[in-house]
Amino acid sequence: MSKSAEKPSSERPAEIGPPPYYHRSDCNICRKQDSLKTGSELLDAPMPGGYVVEGEYFLVEHAPLQSSGAGTVIVEARRHLLDFGEMTPTESAELGSVLHRLVPAVKAATGVQRVYFLALMERAPHFHLWLVPKENEGELRGVDYLAQQPPLTASYSAAEAMSRKIRKQFEQS
According to the binding rule CB under 5 A, does residue 128 interact with Zn ion? no
According to the binding rule CB under 5 A, does residue 106 interact with Zn ion? no
* Closest distance to Zn ion from the beta carbon of 24 (Å): 5
- Of 172, 61, 166, 168, which Cα lies nearest the Cα of 103? 166
Residue from 32, 62, 78, 80 touching Zn ion (CB under 5 A): that is 80
What is the 3-class SS of the chain, one letter each residue? Answer: CCCCCCCCCCCCCCCCCCCCCCCCCCCHHHHHHCCCCCCCHHHHCCCCCCCCEECCCEEEEECCHHHCCCCCEEEEECCCCCCHHHCCHHHHHHHHHHHHHHHHHHHHHHCCCEEEEECCCCCCCCCEEEEEEECCCCCCCHHHHHCCCCCCCCCHHHHHHHHHHHHHHHHHC
Give the nearer residue to Zn ion in terms of CB position, either 29 or 162: 29
Residue from 30, 47, 52, 102 touching Zn ion (CB under 5 A): that is 30
* Closest distance to Zn ion from the beta carbon of 30 (Å): 3
According to the binding rule CB under 5 A, does residue 131 interact with Zn ion? no
* Closest distance to Zn ion from the beta carbon of 96 (Å): 21
Give the nearer residue to Zn ion in terms of CB position, either 82 or 140: 82
* Closest distance to Zn ion from the beta carbon of 124 (Å): 6
Total residues in contact with Zn ion, by rule CB under 5 A:
5
According to the binding rule CB under 5 A, does residue 31 interact with Zn ion? no
Residue from 126, 134, 165, 167 touching Zn ion (CB under 5 A): that is 126
Which residues of this protein are in contact with Zn ion, per CB under 5 A? 27, 29-30, 80, 126
